[in-house]
Each structure stands twice: as C-alpha cells, then as structure tokens.
Chains A and B, each alone.
Chain A
C-alpha cells in the first residue's frame, strides 16, 4: 500500500521575498521541500488585494530557472485561463502572501479556495506563507491589521494558535497571553526571519534566515502563560549559529 502523502506547512513570522529583499534563505528552504526539480509554485496574493507590484516581486524571486511559477488572482478571474481550485491541486508548493487576513479568508471562502487548499495539503502539496499567509493555516490567529489585536478564525489545518512578527510587536504578544489564559489553544509564535515547519500538525523543525530570529511555543500551564523558545536552525553559514539551548525563556 502506498504511504499517505506527507502533509507539510511552513509558517514564517515574517520574511522571504516580501520582507527580506536580498535574503533568499526562507524562500530557498520552502522551494527545497517538494523534493523535485523545478517545483510548480503558485503565489496567492489575495491578502494584498492581488497587488500588481507584489506579484511582480514574486516572479522576480521565483524565476523560471529554478521553478515553474504561477499566481492565483481571485480579483480578475474572468481573465484567468484556469480553474483556481484545479490549479492549486496541481502544484507542488503554494505560497501565500501577507496583508489582510480577514479579507483574504472571506474571498477564499467565496471562491471555495479554502476547501481546495485543505485538499491540496492532504494530497501532499506543501503550503507556506508569511504574516496573513501564516495565520490562515491555524485554528486561531492574532491579527493587528486593524489596529488593536484581534482574534481571527483561520482554516484550522493546524489545531494551534499563531502569531507573527512576534518580538517586534509587543501589543500582539500581550493580547495573545491574555487569550491563552482564557482558553485559546497553545500558540506557536515566530519572529521576523523565523519559520515553523509543520509535518502533519506537529512542529518538525524551526528554521531561520537571520541568526537571532526565534520561534516559541506559548501555552497555559497551571493558570500561567509559559513561553518556550524552540531550537532553531539558521539556514545561512552554519558556524555562526548562536544557538541558545532550547528551553524555558519566559513566564508571564
């Protein structure tokens, strides 16, 4: 019997071509995961309103010399020659950009793209993204897009909570802590430049495009919020990794 496809999701706290011009480490990492030459990569820029400049930057970062790039426009479907859902299911890697997570999820649901993404994941298509493109895969997310931090219901492929840009946005962190105490699921948080690699629904590894970027597990234990820093592999030159021993770094 053939084994079930490996379900993989990589969530960036921030980074990749959207935020780290000139640092391709996270993008190179996700491109390596499908394990084939010139993987078929689809960029999904819905959260930005399919912004032209963002799509152009994607094609610059994901040149056709190393992959087969495409993008999915849900604002101009009448000019799109393919069915969005079929297209997603035929890719090796789906890369979701940043922006408004609430608008993105609403548009996805209106076009039934949410179901196609779930099915793609089941079939072994690697899913990844940053910011809104990270929050969307979790059951719960913390978004600050509209000012004050808000909880958003994601697609729930990963049964955890998520927050992004973790160390650079203290408001988001504080809100997360109070929601964790109220019963929000255990959260995985990532700094800009750090990415959580989930296999199935568990974290298999944390990788980083910047030596100091980290990811954390944040959970409730005995009525308190406990933050655990996760061991992180820097994707650049190995000898400069200033890895602290994984373990408890904060309680709050």
Chain B
C-alpha cells in the first residue's frame, strides 16, 4: 500500500531563532519536504504579517538549498502574487502563530481554507506553530479572545489541539474541559515539541528540548480526562543554541542546589 502523502507538522511553540530546539525542529521540518530544492512559503497571517517574522524566517532558512517565499495578505496591494496558484505549487507551507480566530476569518474571506485543503491533499507539507498548528485540527485552544477557549479549525485533523501546553495552565484546563465535555481526543504540545500527522492520524511526536513533549488527552468516562505522554523522538540542534547551558555549568548549579538543601536542613 502506498504511504499517505498528506503531512502536517503541528508545533506547540517554535520560532525561527537560535534558542534551544528551534533549529532542531526547523531541520526536522525541512527533511519532510519532498524535493531536493524545496519551495517553502511562510504564511504569517495570524499575527498580521509582521516584517520581523518574515525576516526571521528568511534568516533561519537562508543558508539552505531551498526557494523561500512569503505571502502577506495584508500587503497584496504592493506585493502582488496569485495566492492560490503560489500556495498549490509549494513543497511546504509554514503558518506562523498569532490569533487563531483572525487567521481563520481572514483565510475564509480570501478562500484560502479551500486552497490549503487542496494543497494538503496534493502532498504539500503543512506546518505551523501555535495558531498555525491548531488551525489544521477540528478545534484549537486559543487565546484570540483573551481567555483560553476552544475555537473551530479547518478540521483536516480530528481532535482538539492545545499549544504551549505546560507554559499556560489556562490552556491546559481549557483542553481538559473540552475533552471531558465532548467525544474528541485532545493533544497538548509543549513549546519545542511537535506532532507529525500522516493523513488524519498522529504518527510521530518529536522533541527539540529536554522535557518538551506531546500528550494525548482522552475522556476517562467519569467526566474527567486521562493524559498519556507520547514517546518522543528527540531531535538534535545542529549547533549549540544560544540559550544552551553548558554541561559544566549545569553540574555546578546542581552541586550548589544540593549544598543549599543541606544547609537548610542544619
């Protein structure tokens, strides 16, 4: 049987920076693109197409053998592009974070929801972080309206996704509530971790940082939920991250903590 070529990489929190895990997840994503010189497009719609996000994307991927582009729906007046045609001829589309509610409203106004579904069906790898990860699911736990609540997504992937999972207690609570009240399976993805979905099925969990993981959340039948941590494949940073703490410093801190604990006991 042929492998399903529909791929989505949902990242719980990722930037095109040199912080821990960010380059590791970028490299993992690049390896998914089915071409020797992949055409990669950034869609920064969810945060209103900020120039800094576009610049960081280009800086981070600039050294690789690939063709980079971005589509700014807010600058179409000056940056003319046939949006549907452009997206459908990419190998990978990366959707940045921001407001999930705005992202979906704007896509629908421009009919990009249908275009992206077609792109996915034709084998364009869809990738994104935060709002750009949740948009592919039936629902996502969003802070677009201030407090955390679930918002309907494009529904390419069944279930509810929550991002920044252990950084944001409110999102975790909202995911638990959504799962406990409904029949859907939930996924919680930490900053620095990702979930690869092949077809409509979660296939691989990846982690770029110690402790960053992916959780499956299911109803326990008694009005509460059970969380199961998925076994992550660790992905390495290609070079030391700028916030990487060297092993010697980590050891020193450990010794100091132990001493302080002993002192406290005396």
Q: A48: which B residues are within 8 A, CB to CB?
A: 48, 74
Q: B105: which A residues are within 8 A, CB to CB?
A: 106-107, 109-110
C-alpha spacing A107/B106, complex, angstroms: 7
Query: By the criterion CB–CB under 8 Å, are A102 and B109 in contact?
Result: yes
Query: By the criterion CB–CB under 8 Å, are B76 and A145 in contact?
Result: yes
Is B69 engaged at the interface, CB distance under 8 Å to the other chain? no
What distance in Å separates the Cβ of A127 from its nearest Cβ neighbour in chain B?
21
Q: B76: which A residues are within 8 A, CB to CB?
A: 100, 145-147
Interface residue range, chain A: 20 to 34
- With contacts A49-B50, A74-B102, A75-B99 taken as known, whether A103 is within 8 angstroms of B73 at the C-beta atoms is yes
Is A115 engaged at the interface, CB distance under 8 Å to the other chain? no
Is A50 engaged at the interface, CB distance under 8 Å to the other chain? yes
Query: By the criterion CB–CB under 8 Å, are B48 and A75 in contact?
Result: yes
Q: Which A residues from 39 to 55 make CB contacts under 8 A with B?
A: 47-52
What distance in Å separates the Cβ of A98 from its nearest Cβ neighbour in chain B?
9
Query: By the criterion CB–CB under 8 Å, are A111 and B80 in contact?
Result: no
Query: By the criterion CB–CB under 8 Å, are A110 and B73 in contact?
Result: no
Please give me the residue from chain A that is nearest to B48 by CB atom.
A49
Q: A147: which B residues are within 8 A, CB to CB?
A: 76, 80
Central interface residue in A47, A110, A111, by most chain B CB within 10 Å = A110
Central interface residue in B49, B101, B102, by most chain A CB within 10 Å = B102
- With contacts A77-B144, A100-B74, A100-B76 taken as known, whether A110 is within 8 angstroms of B102 at the C-beta atoms is yes
Is A149 engaged at the interface, CB distance under 8 Å to the other chain? no
Is A222 engaged at the interface, CB distance under 8 Å to the other chain? no
Central interface residue in A76, A78, A105, by most chain B CB within 10 Å = A78
Q: B259: which A residues are within 8 A, CB to CB?
A: none
- What's the count of A-B pairs with C-beta under 8 Å? 66
Query: By the criterion CB–CB under 8 Å, are B108 and A75 in contact?
Result: no
What distance in Å separates the Cβ of A150 from its nearest Cβ neighbour in chain B?
11
Query: By the criterion CB–CB under 8 Å, are B73 and A107 in contact?
Result: no
What distance in Å separates the Cβ of B122 from its nearest Cβ neighbour in chain A?
24
Q: B73: which A residues are within 8 A, CB to CB?
A: 100, 103
What distance in Å separates the Cβ of B51 from its nearest Cβ neighbour in chain A?
9
Please give me the residue from chain B that is nearest to A47 by CB atom.
B74
What distance in Å separates the Cβ of A243 from its nearest Cβ neighbour in chain B?
33
Contact of A102 among B49, B98, B110 (CB under 8 A): B110
Is B17 engaged at the interface, CB distance under 8 Å to the other chain? no
Is A99 engaged at the interface, CB distance under 8 Å to the other chain? yes
What distance in Å separates the Cβ of B127 from its nearest Cβ neighbour in chain A?
21
What distance in Å separates the Cβ of A47 from its nearest Cβ neighbour in chain B?
8
Contact of A77 among B46, B109, B110, B145 (CB under 8 A): B145
1/0 contact trace for B99-121 toward A, CB 8 Å?
10110111011100000000000
Central interface residue in B46, B48, B76, B110, by most chain A CB within 10 Å = B48
1/0 contact trace for A27-68 toward B, CB 8 Å?
000000000000000000001111110000000000000000
Q: B106: which A residues are within 8 A, CB to CB?
A: 103, 106-107
What distance in Å separates the Cβ of A145 from its nearest Cβ neighbour in chain B?
5
1/0 contact trace for B244-263 toward A, CB 8 Å?
00000000000000000000
Q: A52: which B residues are within 8 A, CB to CB?
A: 50
Please give me the residue from chain B that is nearest to A105 by CB atom.
B109
Is B77 engaged at the interface, CB distance under 8 Å to the other chain? yes
Q: B110: which A residues are within 8 A, CB to CB?
A: 102-103
- With contacts A80-B146, A103-B74 taken as known, whether A49 is within 8 angstroms of B109 at the C-beta atoms is no
Is B143 engaged at the interface, CB distance under 8 Å to the other chain? yes
Contact of A75 among B77, B80, B98, B104 (CB under 8 A): B98
Please give me the residue from chain B that is nearest to A146 by CB atom.
B76
Is B47 engaged at the interface, CB distance under 8 Å to the other chain? yes
Contact of A106 among B109, B144, B145 (CB under 8 A): B109
Q: Which B residues from 169 to 227 make CB contacts under 8 A with A?
A: none
Q: Which B residues from 143 to 164 make CB contacts under 8 A with A?
A: 143-146
Query: By the criterion CB–CB under 8 Å, are B47 and A77 in contact?
Result: no
C-alpha spacing A144/B76, complex, angstroms: 10
C-alpha spacing A251/B145, complex, angstroms: 49
1/0 contact trace for B35-54 toward A, CB 8 Å?
00000000000111110000
C-alpha spacing A249/B143, complex, angstroms: 53
26 CB contacts below 8 A, A to B, read A49-B48, A49-B74, A51-B50, A74-B99, A75-B46, A75-B48, A77-B145, A77-B146, A78-B146, A80-B146, A100-B76, A102-B109, A102-B110, A103-B73, A103-B110, A105-B109, A106-B105, A106-B108, A107-B102, A110-B101, A110-B104, A111-B145, A146-B76, A146-B77, A147-B76, A147-B80
Q: What residues make up the interface of A, taking CB atoms closer than 8 Å to B?
A: 47-52, 74-78, 80, 99-100, 102-103, 105-107, 109-111, 144-147
